[in-house]
Amino acid sequence: MDATLSRTTGPVRKKNKLHAKEFLLWAFLVSVFMIFAGLTSAVIVRRADGNWLEYVLPSAFWWSTAFVLLSSISLQWSLVQARRDELGKLKLGLVLTLFLGLLFLFSQWVAFQQMVSVGLYLVGNPSTSFLYVITGLHGLHMLSAVVVLFVIFAQVFQYKVHSKNMLSIRLGTLYWHFLGVLWIYLYVFFQLIF
Amino acid sequence: MSHSNPSASTAHGHDHGHDHGHHKETFLTKYIFSQDHKMIGKQYLLTGMFMAVVAALLSLLFRLQLGWPEDTFPWLESILGDWAKGGRLDPSFYLALVTMHGTIMVFFVLTAGLSGTFSNLLIPLQIGARDMASPFLNMLSYWIFFLSTVIMLLSLFIESGPAAAGWTIYPPLSALPQAMPGSGLGMTLWLISMTLFIASSLMAALNYITTILNLRTPGMTMTRMPLTVWSFFTTAILGVLSFPVLLSAAVLLIFDRSFGTSFYLSEIFIAGETLNRTGGSPILFQHLFWFLGHPEVYIVLMPALGITSEVIATNARKPIFGYRAMVGSLLGISFLSFIVWGHHMFVTGMNPFLGNVFMILTLVIAVPSAVKTFNYLATLWKGNIRFTPGMLFAIGLVSLFISGGLTGIYLGNAALDINLHDTYFVVAHFHLVMGSASLFGMLAGVYHWYPRMFGRMMNEKLGYLHFWLTFAAVYMVFFPMHFMGIDGVPRRYYNFTGFEYMAEWMDLNRFISISAILGSAAQLIFIWNFFSSMRMGKKAPMNPWNSNTLEWTAPVEHLHGNWPGEIPHVHRWPYDYSRPGASEDFIPQTVKDDDLPEELRKPSVQPVPHHAEKEAVPTETLLFSRLLQALGFRKA
Ligand code: HEM
Ligand SMILES: [Cu+2]
């Protein structure tokens, strides 16, 4: 671009098309991602020091992965229904998604139980502590997403979610997909590290 | 929000443009739970100033100890009780004082107080927005910050004393509640307070970024933004990327403290028993901490640099030299600041190869820093300088940035750092380049934008007095510390009387303490000036400094929405000062080209000597090619 053009009257550059709140959410997601980037790099740094217990990941994590994927699909489907003003299907999709989300949290709990049953506790070798803390933090975020989705679900009954008013469900879906992708990242990461 | 679509900014403008006046506000919504960015900025400023006074008082207490280690001060016991038995500071309380001083100054004064004040005040006003993208989130961020302030202050009043592991809270002092008195409840409160602080900073930063990217008025392209806004922007980006990592570090620390994990703790023997902790690494904490910590020092500095750019250009009546280089160096500093954290850890036994990598990256960061310095100097050069108090503080920042930045280059050498690490040399380095420079930036901002905030001028004479005393004091306090550091005097020691080789520094320490007391006393002048001018200051005109930026086009009266009518549109960059041929020495950003005489409609470029290239070349390019010629890289 001409170096000097921008200093006087000139064409206004095309503006960002994102809704401000949507942008805000994206930036928030970046910061959430940084929490997990920090923690997973900590795992790498710590592992390089040696004295690192290796173990097999609890099988329930497979279920978690399946639930999280299915829930993303059902939520995406709900989004499409909202855009078509198919409120009945929208409610169905949201219920399904909420249910899958709760199943995800439940499978995480089961995974913790599996760990405990083979003697891998929170307190012990850092490799187990890391697993609990990182998945636990992710689980807390997931819990918050379930709450958010529940609020959206309630809004549907007040006719606040429809093709002309997509913002809340769009943002909720974005957050949900993000946490799903984050889970896949964490799961692959753990597979590689443990 | 796009401006071509009528929803957000114009709708927003509509709301506020018309309903102020018959919109009743209570005391509570106007001054306390205000969602108006100008009021929130003032709230940050007042809280920051209050915290600065607290942190300064804490530092005077430990300077008393360092200056007069053999003497007793019975009056200390009457205020501090057991922490100063017999009139002498308790050694662990000394460490608590240092810790709280550092924490409060770095986070509460120079992060929230500086960036919170000026980002809030200036971002919407300078980009021509009615308010922040989310005024509610903005208010929430202030009140969470306020809560964290209260908790941090509360920790000063508990029996076991506040946290004492240093502002960097390295484990094991921070991880084992039984390690020292401050490691118990004091440390817990520190962690709670800082967690809230991080949440508040993140909310604020997300809001700043969104506002800057989405709510600029028509014509305000990114490259027409004042450098202040650019600096708040890069600062917010650093915050969003680095504070979460501090949160991760804190989460692991909390687990170590409260749930018995061993992230940071390895085999430890304390009070006659071996702890049941294995396999942790305290170095891990340092990595996580400094991944935030180094960006944090630039989070502190960059807003001050942005303010300085603006104040210097306005008062030198010259376009800022090398606008694009200034933006580029902010971006460069931001990027590099994420990959140099290892320079705080040269002596942790890091692989020497890794040390070299960090060393080179660290030295590279001196380049954008130097670019900024040269551009400030070039802006000043042959300027028609008005020495207002704000301008003096801005020039003071440049001086401090140079003298403190140079020592960074010494510290950045891994080999030299073996000697210098954890000595007073480091203390001197960061107090000049971060502490004092940023404080000067903040003061420059307060003097410069006071009329914008309160509609009155501060007293100039008191401003000058304040500047010269402060300027002298910071050099008298921090400059001698270099010599102590080179001699190997370690930081964070309670006293030096037990070491033969340090005896010779006794007098100097006393000199430093006296200077610190005088320098702090000089701040009373400022505080008096600040508060008395609110009532007694000269009434300020709308644009007292003949400045180009948009904030001076809005009336000072408390008015939610900033401009009574339409929001101003922008037609030029903010640095059209002293354009030859113009009737006045400034052309505000709102002036259209059509309203100017013919010869001024060209892009603002300085006159080009006839032997240079035919087409207009921006001065910075020209000077750069001159430099290349001078160095023999290019034929004249
Ligand atoms: C010219 C570029 C700079 C270089 C090369 C540099 C280098 C360094 C190095 C190597 C250290 C570690 C010394 C040690 O602990 O042994 C250090 C410490 C520090 N620097 Fe810089 N620095 C530079 C600029 C800055 C700036 C601009 C700031 C802040 C605005 C800053 C703030 C600090 C702080 C706060 C510490 C000490 C932290 C602590 O240990 O408590 N530095 N610097
Ligand atoms: Cu650093």
Cβ-contact B277, B411 below 8 angstroms: no
Asked if B251's CB is within 8 angstroms of A137's CB, the reply is: yes
Q: Which of B511, B539, B567 represents a domain boundary (last residue)?
A: B539
Tell me the C-alpha distance between B551 and A39, whole Å: 42
Query: B196, B221, B246 — which closes off a domain?
Result: B221
The larger pLDDT score, comparing residue B593 to residue A34, is at A34
Q: Classify B200 as helix, strand or coil.
A: helix
Q: Which atom of ligand 1 is nearest to the CA of B301?
A: 30
Beta carbons of B2 and A37 less than 8 Å apart: no
User: What 8-state DSSP symbol labels residue B435?
Assistant: I
Are B218 and A24 in contact (CB < 8 Å)? Answer: no
Please indicate whether, in this complex, the C-beta atoms of A31 and B240 are within 8 angstroms of each other. yes
* Residue-level pLDDT at B582: 81
Q: Which of A1, A4, A5, A7 to mutate to test the interface with B (most CBs of B within 10 A)?
A: A7
Asked if residue A46 belongs to a domain, the reply is no
- CA neighbours closer than 13 Å in the CB half-sphere of residue B437: 28
> How many structural domains does chain B have?
2
Residues 6+ apart with CB under 8 A from B390: B311, B315, B443, B444, B445, B446, B447, B448
Asked if residue B186 is part of any domain, the answer here is yes
* DSSP assignment string, A86-146: -HHHHHHHHHHHHHHHHHHHHHHHHHHHHHHHTT--SSSSHHHHHHHHHHHHHHHHHHHHH
Q: Is the same domain home to B398 and B486? A: yes
pLDDT of residue A63 exceeding 80: yes
A93 CA: distance to closest CA in chain B (Å)? 30
Same domain for B458 and B376? yes
Q: Give the end of a domain, one of B206, B221, B236.
A: B221
Name the closest residue on chain A to residue B251, using Cα atoms. Answer: A133
Instruction: Specify if B192 maps to a domain.
Output: yes
Q: Are residues B212 and B285 in the same domain?
A: no
pLDDT of residue A30: 95
User: Smallest Cβ distance to B213: which of A10, A23, A32?
Assistant: A23
CATH number of domain containing A167: 1.20.120.80
Q: CA of A40, closest CA in chain B: separation in Å?
A: 10
When CB atoms are compared, the residue of B2, B278, B284 closest to A15 is: B2
- Give the span between the Cα atoms of A19 and A32, in whole angstroms: 20
Residue A119 placed within a domain: yes
Amino acid identity of residue B57, one-letter, is L
Same domain, B318 and B211: no
> Does residue A73 lie within any of the structural domains?
yes
In a mutational test of the A interface, the residue from B123, B136, B206, B341 whose CB has the highest number of chain A CBs within 10 Å is B206
Distance from CA of B244 to the nearest CA of A (A): 5
Q: What is the pLDDT of residue B278?
A: 79
Residue A27 inside a domain? The answer is no
Q: Looking at residue A12, what is its pLDDT?
A: 37
Q: Which residue of B has its CA nearest to A123?
A: B261
- By C-alpha distance, the chain A residue nearest B572 is A8
User: Are residues B289 and B152 located together in one domain of the fold?
Assistant: no
Of the candidate ranges A3-17, A141-155, B419-433, the one whose mean pLDDT is the lowest: A3-17
Do B305 and B166 share a structural domain?
A: no
With respect to residue B397, please indicate whether it lies within any of the assigned structural domains.
yes
Domain-embedded: residue B48: yes
Do B212 and B324 share a domain, yes or no? no
Do the Cβ atoms of B176 and B270 come closer than 8 Å? yes
B340 CA → ligand 2 middle, Å: 7
Check residue B23 and give its pLDDT: 54
pLDDT: is B613 or A115 the higher one? A115
Q: Is B293 found in the same domain as B207? A: no
Q: Which domain holds residue A134?
A: 63-194
Q: For ligand 1, pick from B238, B417, B433 the residue to mutate: most ligand atoms within 8 Å of CB.
A: B433
Q: Supply the CATH number for residue B417's domain.
A: 1.20.210.10
Single-letter residue type at B352: P
**pLDDT value at A154 more than 80:** yes
* Domains held by chain A: number: 1
Predicted local distance difference test score (pLDDT) of residue B631: 59
**What is the per-residue pLDDT for B13?**
38
8 Å CB contact of A9 and B279: no
Q: Does A170 map to a domain?
A: yes
CA of B408 to the centre of ligand 1 (A): 6
What pLDDT, on a 0 to 100 scale, did the predictor assign at position A28?
94
What distance in Å separates residue B275's CA from the closest CA in chain A? 13
Range(s) of the domain holding residue B194: 36-221
Domain assignment of residue B586, yes or no: no
Distance from CA of B574 to the nearest CA of A (A): 8
**B478 and B433 Cβ atoms separated by less than 8 Å:** no
CB-CB contact of B244 with B296 (8 Å): no
How far, in Å, from the CA of B298 to the mean position of ligand 1?
10
Take atom 6 of ligand 1 and give the residue whose Cα is closest.
B408
Pocket around ligand 1 at a 6 A CB cut-off: B 168, 297, 300-301, 343-344, 362, 365-366, 369, 405, 408-409, 411-412, 417, 420-421, 426, 429-430, 433-434
Same domain membership, residue B316 and residue B172: no
- On chain B, the residues whose CB falls within 8 A of the CB of A49 are 281
Same domain flag for B217 and B309: no
B249–A20 C-beta distance less than 8 A: no
pTM of the model: 0.89
Residue B310 lies in a domain: yes
B334 and B444 within one domain: yes
Give the model's pLDDT for residue B627: 62
Of B133, B209, B261, the CB nearest to A123: B261
Q: Among B99, B111, B297, B302, which residue has the most ligand 1 atoms within 8 Å of its CB, making it the best to mutate?
A: B297
Pick from B633, B585, B636: nearest CA to B609? B636
Walking along chain B (636 residues) 10 residues at a time, the average pLDDT comes out as: 36 39 65 89 97 97 93 89 88 95 97 96 96 93 97 94 95 91 94 96 95 93 95 96 95 93 87 81 94 94 97 94 94 95 94 94 93 94 93 97 95 94 97 97 98 95 97 97 95 88 91 97 97 94 94 86 90 90 87 78 50 47 62 56
* Closest residue in chain B to residue A53, using alpha carbons only: B279
pLDDT in tens, A75-114: 999 999 999 999 999 999 999 999 999 999 999 999 999 9
Question: Which residue from A18, A28, A123 is facing B260, i.e. has the nearest CB?
Answer: A123
Rg of chain B over Cα atoms, rounded to whole angstroms, equals 25
Considering the domain architecture, whether residues B187 and B292 belong to the same structural domain is answered as no
Ligand number with the minimum distance to the CA of B340: 2
DSSP helix/strand/coil, B21: coil
List the alpha helices (DSSP H) in B317-423.
Answer: 323-336, 352-380, 389-411, 414-420
